[in-house]
Chains A and B, each alone.
Chain A
Amino acid sequence: MSKKAKIIITIVVVLILGWLIWQNVVRQPEVVSTDPIKIGVIVPLSGSGAKYGEDSRAGITMAQEFLAAKYPDLNLEVIYQDSFYTPKGGVDAYQKLVQVDKISATIVGASFIAIPIRPLAEKDGVLEIAVWSSSPSYTNTHNLNFRTTLTADDTIPPILSYMKSQKLQKLAVLNAENEFGTSHKDSFLKLSPASGVAIVFSEGFDGGEKDFRTSLLKIKSSGADSVFFIGTYGQLATALKQAKELRIDIQFISQGIAEETGLIEIASLSAEGLVYAYPFDNTSKEAREFSKDYESRYGEMPNQYSAEAFVGLQVFGEAVHLCKNKIDVNCWKDRLDSMGKFKTILGSGSFNDSGDLKMGKVFMKTVQNGQFVKLVAFGT
């Protein structure tokens, strides 16, 4: 062989070797996995928020079945961890899921738990989908984090419009001292001046509080004609009951936490007339089949928590399917960002630039004769 031929062959071999090395070492190979794609679900399975965790679990179970029927090749493994409805509990749960279970994605319930997990998930390259997480600050930065909840900034304007229509002008805010509660308070402080509603009293309470009597007396002294309460449904029910016992005649307003049958059981007649903003209509055309199936299994109608959890896993499953069932977090993120307008049981809409799902409507509802009744709907 001539010297020239040897040089040419050597160069070709080096180029081929270099390409092979680049493919398998420098560029991480896409894992076309026959192993399941693991998604961790971090919701409260005990503690004061456990009912929300139970509802979420029900929604996710139904989503798994929905995805299995729609995409039989999809191989998802859902692993639950208890957040204990505390940020520390949520972070501990996340660490276990990442280090032991090697998850690639996570669904997290509650803003005050999703927010501390967000930078950890970012660092670990784990996709995070927050459900029933309404704090606007969750998507202050957006990379691998998404959510299926309307934010406090979306739900409070309808409340203010409703208050204006009822000539309620002096609002007291009673909020749980966590991200969930303070984000709603902050949204009210930001949005109420333009609507002519004055915040005359504002106070936070501890997550485990059960005695609101003194706070209610302070609200009465402030001259407020309405109180926005944000905590758990058990706390709202207790506050309603105690306000009635103290003969404090004031309009209670809340949001999604209010629509729980447990609220009616605890507060009984004290809950009559409670008004709240709610982002899910379980009687809508889109949700009808889901609601029927849910009620036959669990003996109650689905709520915001089960619906958002369902949609959380649903959109994740859609993204994985579009990425050809590969474990590729960046592909999933790109698919979710570029999903465009689509329909779910929450309504019709899409993810915006911050990773927030903007779909459906906000309904002002009330408790009437022990039932949750729609008053008026506001579009998003």
Chain B
Amino acid sequence: MFLQLLFNSLIAAAIYALVAAGLSLIYSTCRFIHFAHGSVVAAGGYFLYFFYSLLGVNFWISVVLAILSGAGLGWLINEFIYRPLRQRKASNTILLVASISVLIIIESLLLISFGADVKVIDFLVNSRGIVIAGAVIMPLQVAIIVVAILLFLLLRLFLKFSKMGQAMRAVSDNKDVAEIVGISSEKVYSQTFVLGSAIASLAGILIAMEQNLEPSMGTILIIKGFTSAIVGGMGTILGSAIGALTLGVAENFGIWYLPSGYKDAIAFVILFLFLLVRPSGILGIKSSFKN
């Protein structure tokens, strides 16, 4: 039973980590919480549904198209919502409020476009589970965990060694100095939103295949992703992963002993405790990009 609970925890942690990764990336560069990230996750899943289930495009090509569409959506949000607000010297609070509005608008558009009923991506529907010492895990769930781990490793390497990653770090550390040395902060913001939204789309694709699609799924996911990012250290990529793991384990082991109705309460108690005792999270904001 312990092993099965551990598997359940890892699956939940991987899902939260996938959401938190893009959110943390955007926060670390742009310095505001992009709540609409949750709706981009949902949109990623719906893009896959649109290309694969409705248009009948090959599954793997649909995945690529969905990721590109999600990246495009992120670019559009930055270009037409956040950039004009930044140009008017809007505070981070205003950007936060705008992001919540965008979250609601995108979810409403998904509802109007695809309807309210639950949608299914019928790829890997009747696969067989892998049994390890009596505990069962499905191939898709293994894929989610592996993708989450690979994603974090690649993201870390990207931020450390690539030119774009170094530019993102420079803008994150000090936007004005970065501008002086010739790095365009607006270009970096745009690139960050494209990359973060592509990650969100990938997350949406995997989550849609595991949990199915409904228009409001983004709201629930962003709350868990946000909690993971806070617990791990908002703005730190590795911190998001640790925060997600902490949350996944706490929830699944917690509801073994408590009624499952307390699941969200466990998440919010953890969030509250960290905000009270260690608001910088496990790895802390000051260590942004040092991992």
Binding site for B on A (CB under 8 A): 44-48, 50-51, 53-54, 177, 203-206, 208-215, 217-218, 221, 233-234, 237-238, 245-247, 262, 265-266, 268-269
Contacts and interface: CB of A to CB of B under 8 A. Distances in A.
A204 B117 contact: no
Q: Give me the 10 closest cross-chain CB pairs, A-B, nearest first.
A: A50-B116, A234-B118, A204-B261, A51-B117, A213-B8, A215-B260, A205-B260, A210-B211, A177-B261, A203-B259
Contacts of A210: 211-212
A262 B116 contact: no
Nearest to A204: B261
Contacts of B111: 46, 50
Interface in B251-269: 252, 255-256, 259-261, 263-264
B276 interface: no
B5 A234 contact: no
Given A208-B220, A265-B120, A46 B215 contact: yes
Place the interface of chain B in its size category.
20 to 34
B134 to A, nearest CB: 10
Interface in B87-120: 108, 111, 115-118, 120
A246 B4 contact: yes
Nearest to A52: B116
A214 to B, nearest CB: 5
A217 B1 contact: yes
A245 B214 CA distance: 22
Contacts of A266: 118, 120, 212
Contact of B252 (A51, A203, A206, A214): A214
A51 B116 contact: yes
Contact of A262 (B11, B118, B136, B256): B118
Contacts, number: 92
A262 B264 CA distance: 26
A269 B12 contact: no
B186 to A, nearest CB: 35
B126 A203 contact: no
Nearest to B262: A206
B180 interface: no
B211 A238 contact: yes
Given A245-B136, A246-B136, A268-B126, A214 B259 contact: no
B125 interface: yes
Nearest to B8: A213
Contacts of A44: 116
B143 interface: no
A137 B211 CA distance: 34
A48 B107 CA distance: 13
A202 to B, nearest CB: 9
Given A208-B220, A268-B125, A234 B261 contact: no
B246 interface: no
A325 B83 CA distance: 58
Nearest to A203: B259
Contacts of B255: 214-215
B84 interface: no
A54 B112 CA distance: 12
Contacts of A46: 108, 111, 116, 215-216
A209 B260 contact: yes
Nearest to A45: B116
| Most A Cβ at <10 Å: residue of B1, B108, B256, B261 | B261
A33 B233 CA distance: 65
A233 B116 CA distance: 13
Given A211-B12, A269-B126, A48 B216 contact: yes
Contacts of A45: 116
Nearest to A174: B260
A334 B250 CA distance: 56
A214 B260 contact: yes
A238 B213 CA distance: 12
B264 A206 contact: yes
Interface string B1-44: 10011001001100000000000000000000000000000000
A237 B115 CA distance: 18
Given A46-B215, A205-B260, A209-B260, 10 more contacts: A46-B108, A50-B116, A206-B261, A206-B263, A214-B256, A215-B260, A234-B212, A246-B136, A262-B118, A266-B212
Given A47-B216, A208-B220, A209-B260, A247 B129 contact: yes
Contacts of A262: 117-118
B110 to A, nearest CB: 10
